[in-house]
Amino acid sequence: MQYADNRSRPRVRIPPRLVIGAIIGLIAVIGYFANSSTNPITGRKQHIALTPQQEVAIGLQSAPQMAQEFGGLSQDAGATARVKSVGKKLIANLPSEATPYPFEFHLLADPKTVNAFALPGGQIFITDALFARLETEGQLAGVLGHEAGHVLARHSAAQIAKSQLTQGLVQAVGVASSDSPQGAQNAAQIAQMVGGFINLKYGRDDEIEADRLGLRFMRASGYDPRSMIRVMEILKEASGGSAQPEFMSTHPDPGNRIEHIRAELIELFPGDDFQGLEK
């Protein structure tokens, strides 16, 4: 009987960098998918590591710095009161599941930057440049309702989780791709670019969802949700045919935004003539 001589076969040696890179990537993926929950407002399953309380803490901590970047809070008492009044009316009619978030609405002094945004946990801002362009209270409700939609859909928290996953995978690619620091850095930059495109796609999906929620919140608070269409027209007009307003940069346009909103109005409120609502 003859036995095979295995001593002549070369052993396959896996480079340590591949093993370490695989471990880093696996930890990032497991950490991301291990934290999942169903959003009670949207009914969608999300992968989020932060609790609502942590989101609130992040928002409160970040709010002063964000306000400073836009010239601080507006000193126009009347305009500020109007923003807070519309915001208060919106949150009074939000679903009961929204209670973990102590919403606050702020008017920023910036007269040039057309923008509105929300921090995690319910800190919502609109610049004077955008506020001054709005023509009705319903349009203001549309902007603030859209931002409240981002908060309640937990888009910021979801993006933080995706960013952490991307960073983990970028680190894994960097470690596994090269033994040299320069090679690892180049591979990591390429992976980071790919991760950015992936996250941008979700940003567009977020915009559609925030629009949908904003329309619901407007209707529940007595505002004509069709006012959101005029908001989109105002934002396009603000571009002046050249550079986009900052709002359109931070809120990617999912194709034809106005057509999306019109389709949502038909689906959400079939047969509703919106009579008696504030425009």
Q: Which residues are known to be catalytic? A: 147
Q: Which contiguous run of DSSP H or E holds residue 45?
A: strand 45-47
Q: How many CA atoms lie within 13 A of 134 on its CB side?
A: 26
First-to-last C-alpha distance (Å) of the chain: 94
3-state secondary structure of 225: coil
Residue 60 and residue 123 in contact, taking contact as beta carbons nearer than 8 Å: yes
Tokens for 22?
A: 């695989």
HSE value, Cβ hemisphere, 13 Å, CA-based, for 53? 0
What DSSP string describes 113-173? Answer: ---EEE-TTSEEEEEHHHHTT--SHHHHHHHHHHHHHHHHTTHHHHHHHHHHHHHHHHHHH
Handedness of CA 250, 131, 114, 253 (dihedral sign): positive
**Percent helix, strand and coil across the chain, each rounded to 5?**
60, 10, 30
d(CA 101, CA 110): 26
> How far out from the chain centre does Cα 23 lie?
30
